Amino acid sequence: MDRPTVIVPLLPEHWPAVRAIYLEGIATGHATFETEAPEWEAWNAKCLEAGRLVALVDGSVAGWAALMPVSQRPVYAGVMEESVYVGSGYRGRGIGRRLLEHLVTESESIGVWTLQAGIFPENTASLRIHEQCGFRRVGLRRGLGRMAGRWRDVLLLERRSEVAGTD
């Protein structure tokens, strides 16, 4: 039987576990172009204070999600890039989808009208949960970056809110 998952705000004390999950994602080679996880200060400066979530299973961090502004220009104030990561021991349990659903709700509550994600085509689990949560594919960026000696494509997905920014 799966243990209950609780979604709560990501706090600084969660960072060691969040960083460890980020490193697991990096190690897969299909989660990010990053090659190392930042220290708390750098990550904290990059991510929006609202829209930082962790999934807890029996008090342990099983996954995390966060929002990052795509631009500092006021016209893009309601457009955020999102990230969702699930620890290797918790994958396949619906935790990523639950995190993303909560992130969508939280983003809309703070006026975000568009969420975007860049996902490697090989990351089929991430593509699936994004599409289940209302994201649509808007393009393929061919050879966007070089990683481990290989050019990598990135699918661009977005979700337009039906609640925020509809005036």
Out of 3.40.50.170, 3.20.20.70, 3.40.630.30, 3.40.50.300, the CATH code matching 5-160 is 3.40.630.30
CA dist 7 and 65 (Å) reads 10
| pLDDT tens digits along 84-114 | 999 999 999 999 999 999 999 999 999 999 9
CA dist 1 and 93 (Å) reads 11
Per DSSP bridges, beta strands 79-86 and 60-69 are antiparallel
pLDDT score, position 142:
96
CA angle 58, 25, 31 (to 5 degrees): 130
Could you tell me which residues are beta bridge partners of residue 65?
A: 53, 84
Locate the domains of the chain by residue range: 5-160
In degrees and rounded to multiples of 5, residue 24 shows phi and psi of: -60, -40
Question: Which is nearest to 118 in space by CA: 101, 141, 99?
Answer: 141
pLDDT score, position 1:
47
CA dist 1 and 56 (Å) reads 16
Question: Which is nearest to 77 in space by CA: 104, 113, 28?
Answer: 113
pLDDT score, position 77:
92
pLDDT score, position 112:
96
| Strand ranges, E, within 71-149 | 79-86, 114-119, 136-147
Strand order in the sheet with 60-69: 5-9, 52-57, 60-69, 79-86, 114-119, 150-160, 136-147
Please name the residue that has the structure tokens 């699930």.
86
Low-confidence ranges of the chain (pLDDT < 50): 1
